[in-house]
């Protein structure tokens, strides 16, 4: 089963994708994580996208479609969770073609409904474990007092360079201008399922599982 988690920055796509990986053996394909990895390892592409990402703008379709194609050619595991991809109509068309090329398809598009005030609050308070990616929040899930990740025990917490109010404003505008048309696109294909994205992590996960098990 292949699914897309669709929603604005801070909707909780990454957190829910990680749970699906743990619980269902699915493979998370986050283009944001792939691009951050390219930056850390200092590849030419990583250097090219750094300033665009920090400003909160979208990188070109060619780059992210190329990253996704590389992954689709590999192990399919328990299915793919597309997290932060597609973000434009061109990417959505390309994903459809690629899935067909690799003999599979798209089963659900789960749109996570959240309000913008909650997103700002979530994102500006967000940090992640640099080792395993566990997500923390200064208010709702603070880093433990012993400074060790609850998931892997590492003490390497990071804040994203683009998790600040200015970049977030651009990221939200990019979402509304370029990504939100995907809601209509997948609605017309009868693949869209809305879930409320603002509850507790386990409540949201239960709603997603209810869609997948339907």
Per-residue binder mask for ligand AMP (CB under 6 A), 78-117, x = binder: ------xx-x---x--------------------------
CB 107 within 8 A of CB 54: no
Closer residue to ligand AMP in complex, CB, 58/204? 58
HEC letters along 33-94: HHHHHHHHCCCHHHHHHHHHHHHCCCCCHHHHHHHHHHHHCCCCCCCEEEECCCCCHHHHHH
Catalytic residue flag (residue 36): no
Nearest-angstrom CA–CA distance, 189 and 92: 12
Beta sheet of 126-129, edge-to-edge order: 135-137, 126-129, 157-158
Question: Which member of 18, 36, 87, 122 is catalytic?
Answer: 87
Closer residue to ligand AMP in complex, CB, 153/181? 181
In this structure, the strands spanning 126-129 and 135-137 are antiparallel
Q: Total residues at the site for ligand AMP (CB under 6 A)?
A: 17
Catalytic residue flag (residue 126): yes
Please identify, among the stretches 27-35, 92-100, 121-129, 203-211, the one whose residues bind ligand AMP according to the rule CB under 6 A.
27-35
- Say whether residue 8 binds ligand AMP (CB under 6 A): no
Nearest-angstrom CA–CA distance, 118 and 103: 39
Catalytic residue flag (residue 122): no
- Say whether residue 32 binds ligand AMP (CB under 6 A): yes
Q: How far is the CB of 21 from ligand AMP (least distance, A)?
A: 16
Considering only CA atoms, which of 86, 87, 154, 168 is closest in space to residue 126? 168
CB 101 within 8 A of CB 71: no
Closer residue to ligand AMP in complex, CB, 62/153? 62
CB 49 within 8 A of CB 61: no
Closer residue to ligand AMP in complex, CB, 134/162? 162
- Say whether residue 9 binds ligand AMP (CB under 6 A): yes
Residues lying near ligand AMP in the complex (CB under 6 A) are found at: 9, 31-32, 35, 52-53, 56-59, 64, 84-85, 87, 91, 162, 171
Catalytic residue ranges: 13, 87, 126, 160, 171
């Amino acid at each position: 089963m292949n699914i897309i988690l669709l929603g604005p920055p801070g909707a909780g796509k990454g957190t829910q994708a990680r749970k699906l990986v743990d619980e269902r053996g699915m493979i998370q394909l986050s283009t944001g994580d792939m691009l951050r990895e390219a930056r850390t390892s200092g590849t030419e592409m990583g250097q090219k996208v750094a300033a665009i990402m920090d400003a909160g703008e979208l990188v070109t379709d060619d780059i992210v479609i190329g990253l996704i194609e590389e992954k689709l050619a590999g192990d399919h595991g328990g299915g793919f969770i597309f997290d932060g991809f597609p973000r434009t109509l061109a990417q959505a068309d390309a994903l459809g073609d690629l899935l067909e090329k690799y003999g599979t398809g798209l089963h659900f598009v789960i749109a996570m409904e959240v309000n913008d005030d909650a997103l700002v609050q979530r994102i500006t308070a967000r940090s992640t474990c640099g080792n395993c990616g566990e997500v923390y929040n200064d208010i709702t899930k603070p880093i433990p007092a012993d400074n060790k990740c609850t998931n892997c025990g590492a003490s390497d917490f990071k804040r994203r360079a683009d998790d600040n109010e200015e970049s977030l404003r651009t990221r939200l505008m990019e979402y509304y201008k370029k990504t939100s048309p995907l809601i209509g696109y997948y609605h017309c294909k009868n693949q869209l399922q809305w879930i409320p994205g603002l509850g507790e992590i386990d409540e949201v996960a239960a709603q997603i599982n209810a869609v997948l098990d339907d």
